[in-house]
Amino acid sequence: MTTITEDYHAHPDATGHFGPYGGRFASETLMDALDELSAMYTKLKDDPDFRQQFDKDLAHYVGRPSPLYLAERLTKNWGGADIYLKREDLNHTGAHKINNTIGQALLAKYSGKPRVIAETGAGQHGVATATVAARLGLKCVVYMGAEDVERQKLNVYRMRLLGAEVVSVTSGSRTLKDAMNEAMRDWVTNVDDTYYIIGTVAGPHPYPTLVRDFNSIIGREARRQILEQTGELPDALVACVGGGSNAIGLFWEFLNDKGVEIYGVEAGGHGLDGDDHAAPLSKGRPGVLHGNRTYIMANDDGQISATHSVSAGLDYPGVGPEHAWLKDSNRAKYVAITDDEALDAFRELTRTEGIMPALESAHAVAYAKKLAKQLGKGKRIIVNLSGRGDKDVHTVAALDGLSI
């Protein structure tokens, strides 16, 4: 008997489809720009000069490799599997988002376009984009939902200091999805001189692929590091899923390692029983949003739902198409963590290890706590600590009834 094993690295196909998901559901005005971007990326991704420049920037500008840290005290307190934290929070600008913006800024540079735009939720991608734009002398406009502008004030000011224009988006639900709509509108209008740096593994082909590739450095390093430190592969991976870029970044290198369990953690908000969450993989259905087919949250009429999460970076009704595919093929499991559980994990990691995680990453930490108990002692879990919590101090303080 022969066993047919799926090669999880064989996706997407030439037209950007991960099974039924992904693709290029974009306005005609953008189709040529997307074709050009695909052609340019296909050429550059294997180009030694491009690779070298990317690796050099990651090493000397971002500060990679990021450590893989065995959180001994946390492990002991939880009394289960060993917890290894992949420290993306230590990257320049404080999150994994910079891996992608370094790569896309290089693409923007090669394309010769003098202006970059981005959408942002938590502001981490906006800051990472404003940062690379400052470094390359590119004009930068960042779209951000009005609600997020309010709850992520620190990052808004950081972007402005970096020279970016931050546009507060007041249409729709005034969060990340609306910021993305507005960025698309800008791009359609200014496609000749503007490069759109999408911040997650969503959008029309080739974005889900190139954003994944730039973030896959996380898993490449983590796999090497865990082998160096323990001589073995981990038993499980855990990462939070907004659009899904930090998660796929960690998962990708391990997808064909069948013994490694993979968990993506969505934002459960006030709980999956109600409507106040941002968990399309757990509670949504396949549909089309922002240029690709994927799981999304919408009402009976197909109108996109307003989502809720305490963390702005997870507050999105869609998810990258590759995650939709990994869910259907059962290679990864998708679970949810509520606001309260995430906040508890935020405090616990801060107090136990002296590491203050982003509220997004705190969702992964909270799920790792449950999983550590299930797997038990002697097993190993890698948790992607996708970002640091400085930007969220304000939000947590407000929940404590303090204004700082």
Partner 1 sequence: MSRIAATFERLKSEGRKALIPFVTAGDPRPDVTLPLMHALVEQGANIIELGMPFSDPMADGPAIQRANERALANGMSLRKTLDIVAEFRKTNQDTPVVLMGYLNPVEWMGYETFVKAAHEAGVDGLLMVDMPPEEGGGIVDYAKAVGLDLIYLVTPTTTNERFEIICKRSTGWIYYVSLKGITGANTLNVDEVAERMRWIEQHTDIPVCVGFGIRDGETAARVASVCSGVIVGSVLVNAIEKLESESAIEISSQVSKLLGDMRTAMDRA
Ligand X SMILES: Cc1ncc(COP(=O)(O)O)c(C=O)c1O
Name which of partner 1, ligand X, none residue 360 binds, using a CB cut-off of 5 to 8 Å depending on partner kind.
ligand X
174 in contact with partner 1 (CB under 8 A): no
Check residue 40 for interaction with partner 1 (CB under 8 A). no
CB of 188 to ligand X, least distance (A): 23
Any bridge partners for residue 334, and if so which? 264
Minimal CA–CA distance to 241: which of 194, 210, 277?
Answer: 277
Q: Which is nearer to partner 1, 181 or 395 (CB)?
A: 181
386 is known as an active-site residue: yes
**Residue found under tokens 């999956």:** 272
- Nearer to partner 1 among residue 181 and residue 225 (C-beta): 181
Number of H helices, E strands in the chain: 16, 14
Window 272-311: residues binding ligand X (CB under 6 A): none
d(CA 42, CA 306): 36
Q: Which does 19 bind (CB under 5 to 8 A by kind): partner 1, ligand X, none?
A: none
- Let me know: does 319 contact 244? Beta carbons within 8 Å: yes
Residue nearest ligand X (C-beta atom): 387
Six-digit token pair at 396?
């947590």
Q: How many residues does the chain have?
A: 404
Between 244 and 284, name the residue whose CB sits nearer to partner 1. Answer: 284
Q: Could you say which of 86, 88, 97, 360 is catalytic?
A: 97
Please say whether the beta carbons of 204 and 35 come within 8 A: no
Cβ–Cβ < 8 Å for 116, 140: yes
Rule CB under 6 A: say whether 240 interacts with ligand X.
yes
End-to-end, the C-alpha distance of the chain in Å comes to 66
Among 58, 85, 122, 335, interactor with ligand X by CB under 6 A: 122
Taking CB under 6 A as the binding criterion, the range among 18-26, 28-36, 69-77, 357-365 that sits at the site for ligand X is 357-365
Are 227 and 234 a contacting pair, CB within 8 Å?
Answer: no
Q: Rounded CA gap, 383 and 337, in Å?
A: 14
Known catalytic residue: 245?
Answer: no
327 is catalytic: no
Which residues inside 171-210 make contact with ligand X, applying CB under 6 A? 200
Taking Cα atoms as reference points, which of 251, 214, 252 lies closest to residue 236? Answer: 251
Shortest distance in whole angstroms from residue 219 CB to ligand X: 13
Q: How many other C-beta atoms are found inside a 10 Å radius of the C-beta of residue 27? A: 13
- The distance of closest approach from Cβ of residue 280 to partner 1 in the complex, given in angstroms and rounded to an integer, is 12
Binds ligand X (CB under 6 A): choice among 313, 317, 318, 321 = 313
Nearer CB in complex with ligand X: 80/123: 123
**Where on the chain is the footprint of ligand X (CB under 6 A)?**
95, 97, 121-122, 124-125, 200, 240-247, 313-314, 358, 360-361, 386-387
